[in-house]
Amino acid sequence: MASVKTRLGILFGGASEEHPVSVKSAREIAANLDYGRYEPFWIGITKTGAWRLCNGPSPDWDGDDGRPAVLSPDPSIHGLLVLAQGRYETVRLDVVLPVLHGRFGEDGAMQGLLDLSGIPYVGCDVQSSAVCMDKSLAYAVARSAGVATPEFQVVSRDEDVDADSLTYPVFVKPARSGSSFGVSKVAYPADLPEALAAARQYDSKVLIEQAVAGHEVGCAVAGNGAELITGEVDRIDLSHGFFRIHQESAPESGSENSAFVVPADIPAESRVRVTETAKALYRALGCRGLARVDLFLTDDGTVVLNEVNTFPGMTSYSRYPRMMAAAGMPLTEVIDRIVALALPGDRR
């Protein structure tokens, strides 16, 4: 007797600056999904926020082949309302994989809608998504857990900053945006106004952080509660500037200023410290399912939080799948694990 496939709703795209990255992540998911185990329902969200049930994240997924669809907030539907021939049909889903990055994907908005729908979903809940998305809140939680963070100050939209009062270099970044969008490294007071204006294009709340001298490292984490697994720690090898791969013109072929070293070429004791700090942060921030914890490792061995991505990139060049693959877990297995964690009986 054939086993019943899990009806998996896969959300991708989204109305944020990370829309193209999300589509690339969805394509990598499609290439590595176990179709003997899952019946996928691909739900693409256009840049304007329109939902379409389509055949997958192909180049023309948002064209005429897609059908308008919405996620029903009525838990008795437990799935989608799809417009077909002038009337709505229902499509029941067992679980949702929200392959969405940045605003409206990792900030708790989508998670709130999924909670209303009653459908289990992969990844962090509303609270942990919102806290991790807001770097100032994540730093407050990290500090309360005994983990170091950069020195920083929060600047509102109309607030003036005394540029001469800062110790340079500093990073100016949106408090609630993904990747490196709107992020600037500032070495001189005269450059601060332009950096603030760039960050304010993405968020009214801006952080000014003291630059941390050290290696940029990361740790891929998966699991719920006490049962966590990690990938190999990686290190970003920078030739100049700062890491901003999603702003490259062709990131699949490499970066102009950075390369990944996986496993990281750091001492064994430092690798353990990075991994344990990542797991401590994951728990303190209430993460579930998966997250990538980005950190700094200073020359004296101190581990400093950079940021936590609650649904990290899954593209062919992304760090999370590379770290997991280096630890012996290919993407197909990663997908199986994080989906299983979301299903009833596993999510806790």
Q: What is the pLDDT of residues 235-264, one digit of tens each?
A: 998 754 555 554 455 666 555 556 889 999
pLDDT band per the 50, 70, 90 thresholds, residue 347:
very low
- Give the rounded percent of residues in the chain with a pLDDT score beyond 70: 91
The mean pLDDT of 290-294, rounded to a whole number, is 98
pLDDT at 272: 97
Catalytic residue among 7, 19, 24, 27: 24
pLDDT band per the 50, 70, 90 thresholds, residue 228:
very high
The mean pLDDT of 85-89, rounded to a whole number, is 87
CA distance 53 to 247: 28
State yes or no: pLDDT of 280 exceeds 90: yes
CA distance 294 to 4: 38
Residue 316 CB neighbours (<10 A): 15
pLDDT band per the 50, 70, 90 thresholds, residue 348:
very low
State yes or no: pLDDT of 344 exceeds 60: yes
Residue that wins the pLDDT comparison between 169 and 181: 169
Range 267-271 contact pairs with CB under 8 angstroms and sequence separation of 24 or more: 269/301, 270/297, 270/301, 271/233
Residue 129 CB neighbours (<10 A): 27
Helix axes 319-326, 331-342, angle to 10 degrees: 100
pLDDT at 252: 60
Catalytic residue among 21, 147, 170, 293: 21
In DSSP terms, 67 is beta-bridged to 53
Average pLDDT along the chain: 91
104 contact partners, CB below 8 Å, separation of at least 6: 14, 15, 16, 49, 110
pLDDT at 61: 85
Catalytic residue among 103, 202, 313, 339: 313
pLDDT at 329: 97
Of the chain, the end-to-end C-alpha distance in Å amounts to 31
Residue that wins the pLDDT comparison between 209 and 60: 209
Catalytic residue among 292, 319, 322, 337: 292
Residue 252 annotated as catalytic: yes
Residue 246 annotated as catalytic: yes
The CATH number of the domain covering residues in 130-149+213-342? 3.30.470.20
Catalytic residue among 35, 252, 328, 348: 252
The mean pLDDT of 152-160, rounded to a whole number, is 91
Candidate CATH numbers 3.40.50.150, 3.40.50.10490, 3.40.50.12780, 3.30.1490.20; the one for domain 152-210: 3.30.1490.20
The mean pLDDT of 304-333, rounded to a whole number, is 96
E strand or H helix at 321: helix 319-326
**pLDDT tens-digit profile of 19-41?**
999 999 999 999 999 999 999 99
Catalytic residue among 173, 246, 273, 279: 246
Q: Minimum mean pLDDT among 1-5, 220-224, 327-331, 341-345: which range?
A: 1-5
Residue 182 CB neighbours (<10 A): 20
Residue 292 annotated as catalytic: yes
State yes or no: pLDDT of 306 exceeds 60: yes
Domain ranges of the chain: 6-121, 130-149+213-342, 152-210
Q: Is 139 helix (H, G, I), strand (E, B) or coil?
A: helix
State yes or no: pLDDT of 167 exceeds 60: yes
Catalytic residue among 103, 317, 320, 337: 317
**pLDDT tens-digit profile of 171-181?**
999 999 876 78
Q: Is the pTM of this model over 0.95?
A: no
Task: Report the CATH fold assignment for 6-121.
Answer: Rossmann fold (3.40.50)
Maximum Cα–Cα distance across the chain: 73
State yes or no: pLDDT of 111 exceeds 50: yes
Residue 274 annotated as catalytic: no
The mean pLDDT of 50-76, rounded to a whole number, is 88
